[in-house]
Structure 1
Amino acid sequence: MASVSVTTSQVLAREALQEASRTAGTAPGLLTRLLRGTARAAVAVGRRTAAIVALAAIWEVLPRLDVVDPTFLPPLSQVLVAWWDLLLSGELLDHTQASLVRSLAGCALAIVAAIPLGLLIGWYRPVADFLNPLLELFRNTAALAILPVFVLILGLGETSKVSIILYACAWPILLNTIAAVRGVDPLLVKSARSMGLRPFRLFQKVILPAAVPTIFTGIRLAGAYSILVLVAAEMVGAKAGLGYLINYAQFNFRVPEMYAGILTISVLGLLLNLLLVRLERRFSTWRVSR
């Protein structure tokens, strides 16, 4: 009986030692993998931000060396100081809020109007044949070219600004939606029809999921257009907005504030694009991640 107890205790002791050795060997391995993953992430972030850091350094150095006239292109540090002063005064937040409301409203209305129309045109050939001449006429008319028309008809208020953004954003969404529907693999459509799917279910289960990535490409383009057109729209008869801030600072020769407004618009465009990328991933969860 005693020998059995000794043997059992030896087995338990051996297992404890093995577990300890595994733990001791695993902890450094986990630490090593963690450090390697952190290093890879740091390298990836460094590669993505290297160009921005280089641009910031060039922007700071060239005006101080008088390579460019600092009166018209002040160093980046002066621009950031002006940006911070505008932020503390609350002026920047007011202008940013006004611009975001106009931009998001115009872009949202474009999404609501252009996606259903694009799906209809891409899916039904008679509708496409009827509307194509009209689409070809207006798609080649730049939004800024007809900005005076919107101002004359709708006035200088918010309606004209939101409408011109709606017009500019609708085209990339509409054209990408049409291309997305028409670009669905015919073999998928034939396979679905051979399985007995009715037209509505075919559209819901095959056409629409396959078209989502291309539609979101159009939405991302529209997001960029909403910011670009917004600046021009706010330079005409606006009393608030980043476009108004840039225009006002230019006329009053407050150059650092002008560049602060430009930087703010660039950051807003970047954040809007990141948001749309996340939404695309959310609505395209069926795709294989790369």
Structure 2
Amino acid sequence: MSSTRRAAWAAATVVVLLLAGGAVWALHTTQTPPSSAPTPTAIPSLSASPSTTATHTPTPTPSYDLGALPKVDVFAVIPALPVDDDPYGAFSGEVVRPVGDAAPVFADPGGEPVAVLPRDDPYDGTTVPVIEHRAGWVKVLLPGRAHTPSQGDAAQLTGWLRTGDVVARDLDVQIQVDISKHRIQIVRNGIIERVTGDFAWGRSETPTPHGRAFVMMVRTAPSLAYTRGHPVVYLSVQSPTLDGFGGADVAVTAFHYHDAHSGAISNGCIRVGAAAITALAALPVGTPVTVHP
């Protein structure tokens, strides 16, 4: 998206997929932002080992000029970043967030950065779940896309962050969706809480994305009558078949309330009842989500 179009959307709305046939969601920046996440704690260096017999001077962490790098956000299309190569893999139980204004994002450890993840963004997506550790590095899920569906693989985006650039906290909760078994569950500290067995998902031509993702943002949109005042839980992953939706260059999926919430009837979002959306919206941003077909 050009800078002019990005500015226009950021000043107005982000359009995302709805489960109400041809309707669209509008995310207004004037809405009340989500509550602050708990104060994170510094993630330890994974390469450090205690020693009582010798000391050494640490190797300085390279710094980079981040101004020329593309920003990782819901609008981003960054071919240099990989999509998730293990979509049903485990999460580490941690989420991270940049410790400064922004953190460089790498396609692989040791290379040059190809993007930048801000600490704060109007559409959130800056508290991200860890899916792999290496010494001095964490691999995370990210918002945005590597490609639009017409140009390549639009699956869940990933990237690497240096541990020195982020702070972390434990988050032992995740959402599990199983479409064929008709169940949505919250798994909290190893305990399964059944949320609902009555929900709707994407039609064959606009399927709900499968695999790993995370809660990018939670917003309430009172102007959208069909939500009945319930919040919308927006996910990091976008449509596998739609480049954009409703005239926008994004096609974000979400959990949301709708009176009709049963069967394959949506444009990719997951429709649920009132009790289910209340439970899902209470989870913090960064919460891992896995959707099984």
Does the TM-score normalized on the shorter chain lie above 0.5? no
Q: Which has the higher strand share?
A: 2
TM-score, structure 2 normalization: 0.20
TM-score, structure 1 normalization: 0.21
Q: Which has the higher helix share?
A: 1
